[in-house]
Amino acid sequence: MKRYLTYVTLFLLIVGTILALWECFVRQYPTSYQYKAQWMDSHAPGVSTLVLGGSHTYYGVMPSLMGDSVFNLANVTQHSEIDDWLLSHYIDRCTNLKTVIVPVDVTNTFDSPLEKSVEWYRGTYYKLYMGCDLFDNNLKYYCEISCLPAFNRKFLAAVQGLCGGDTSLECDSTGFGTGFATPSHFDENMMIVSAKTAEHRSTADSANVAYNSQHLMHIASMCHDRGIRLVIVTTPMWDGYTSRISKASLETVHGIVNQCVKKYGAVYMDHMNDTRFQGTDFYDCDHLSRQGAEKFTRILNEQLAR
């Protein structure tokens, strides 16, 4: 028994030490979540326009083209409950907040809660770096090494950093995602394949519609109560993708948006089928490239000014 307990204890100590060292190593390298939380903590009172949402706005709206007091608080796979939490968390500190931009489309309307999605691990970042209390007390939300997909990327970035390479944050100082560069050539076959995949993803579990709608309504009511303009946007998407979206899915999205517009006076800007966006404006079938993001931001800015 003594031998068994000694070995088990020793083994657990080794495991614990390795994990702790690994965790310390990756925590040294900043994430966009950490950066955005720190930025908001120090600049919240000066923000006039806040951009929320997932990758469509993270890679689609460039605050640097919209003025000094605009910040992009969106992030990859940032689901509706996170948007809701972030706005609730910061809204009272943003004393000059005039406009909130939030995307609504066939992806985020049907998304499952982040905790149940394939990208659940991003919850760890919200919990660790932004203080988000939406997730349970599972150990996996307390350490980065439990998030393998994110950990791998960060670990590689850290190693690149050690070798003198680029360890950038994947977002610029205004929170805009810099990961999607303009593709060197527009490959229609690749787009068709990704459109098919995205189409399946976008119509995921219709049971989530009520869940996401509820969070959007809460965002709208918070803005309404404080006299903040809520702008709902649907970012431009490649026509090969939009043509594959079912009519029923679109009707669901529009139903939710209309409810929000009627009840809380939100403004809806639908650019999904905007024909001004073509070819290299897209990174993939439903994300804008940097070039497309610049174009979209200028159009959005003009609309907001009106």
Partner 1 sequence: MSFVSIQFLLFLPIVFLLYWFVFKPTKMQNIFIVLSSYVFYGWWDWRFLLLMAFTSICCYASGRAIEKFEGRNKLQRAITAVNVIVNLAILGVFKYYNFFVGNLDVLLSSMGFALDWPTANIILPVGISFYTFQAIGYSVDVYKKKIAASHDIIDFFAFISFFPQLVAGPIERASDMLPQFARARKFDYASAVDGSRQMLWGMFKKVVIADNCAPYINTTWNNIDTTSSFNLMVVGFLFSFQVYCDFSGYCDIAVGCAKLFGFKLRANFNYPYFSRNIPEFWRRWHITLLAWFREYVYFPLGGSRCSKLRCCFNTIFVFVLSGLWHGPDWSFVLYGCAHGLMCSFYVLTGIKTKYDHNVGWKRVLPSVKELLMMLGTFTFVTLARVMFRAQSLGEAWYYYKHVFSWSVFDPRGGVVGLKVIPLCIMLLVIEWIKRDNSHVLELNGHGLMKHQWARWTLYLVIVMAIVLMQAPQQDFIYFQF
The verdict on 140 binding partner 1 (CB under 8 A) reads: yes
Q: Judge contact between 94 and 121, C-beta under 8 A.
A: no
The verdict on 18 binding partner 1 (CB under 8 A) reads: yes
Residue 29 or 155: the one with the smaller Cβ distance to partner 1 is 155
Q: Judge contact between 286 and 237, C-beta under 8 A.
A: yes
Question: Helices (DSSP H) in the chain: which residue ranges?
Answer: 2-27, 32-43, 55-58, 80-90, 106-110, 122-130, 148-162, 188-202, 209-225, 239-242, 247-264, 290-305
The CB-of-293 to partner 1 minimum distance in angstroms stands at 26
**Hey, what are 115's tokens?**
């905790």
| Contact track, partner 1, 89-128, x by CB under 8 A | --------------------------xxxx-x--------
Residue 105 or 199: the one with the smaller Cβ distance to partner 1 is 199
Residues β-bridged to residue 103: 233
As a whole number of angstroms, the distance between CA 195 and CA 179 comes to 20
The verdict on 238 binding partner 1 (CB under 8 A) reads: no
The CB-of-79 to partner 1 minimum distance in angstroms stands at 14
Q: Give the range of 30-38, 52-60, 193-201, 266-274 binding partner 1 by CB under 8 A.
A: 193-201
The verdict on 270 binding partner 1 (CB under 8 A) reads: no
Binding residues among 165-184 for partner 1 as defined by CB under 8 A: none
Residue 141 or 176: the one with the smaller Cβ distance to partner 1 is 141
Q: Judge contact between 203 and 238, C-beta under 8 A.
A: no
The CB-of-103 to partner 1 minimum distance in angstroms stands at 22
Number of shown-chain residues binding partner 1 (CB under 8 A): 31
As a whole number of angstroms, the distance between CA 142 and CA 129 comes to 10
Q: Three-state DSSP class for 50? A: strand
Among 188, 205, 225, 251, binds partner 1 (CB under 8 A): 205
The verdict on 145 binding partner 1 (CB under 8 A) reads: yes
Exposed / middle / buried, residue 177 (Cβ in 10 Å: 0-12, 13-18, 19+): buried
Listed residue (259, 175, 253) closest to 218, CA to CA: 259
Sign of torsion over alpha carbons 22, 77, 239, 192 = positive
The CB-of-64 to partner 1 minimum distance in angstroms stands at 35
The CB-of-139 to partner 1 minimum distance in angstroms stands at 6
The verdict on 142 binding partner 1 (CB under 8 A) reads: no
Q: Give the range of 13-21, 41-49, 87-95, 292-300 binding partner 1 by CB under 8 A.
A: 13-21
